[in-house]
Amino acid sequence: MNAAADSPAAFPWATIMAAGFGLLRLSTRDFWAMTPREICSAFGPPPRDGGPTRPVLELMMQQFPDGPTMNEEQE
């Protein structure tokens, strides 16, 4: 019997740390405070709701309008 074949794969610490620190820009304190469930959620697939609908987006655009652009400020 091969013990190596029966043992689970090692946890990919290097990959998780690289993504946590490099991609998510987490501090060491925040990274090590995360639970395994939080880590999985951070790197899991995005929600499938598809984002806001057009009416919701238009309402948000009315509630939070963009400020003047640099070109508009110069005029």
Give exposure, 7-39, as e/b (b: 16+ Cβ within 10 Å): eeeeeeeeebeebbeeeeebeeeebeebeeeeb
CB-based contact 2:16 (threshold 8 Å): no
The model's pLDDT over 12-61, given as tens digits with 9 standing for 90+, comes to 889 999 999 999 999 999 999 999 888 888 887 766 777 889 999 999 99
Cα 43 to the chain's mean position, in Å? 6
Whether this model's pTM surpasses 0.95: no
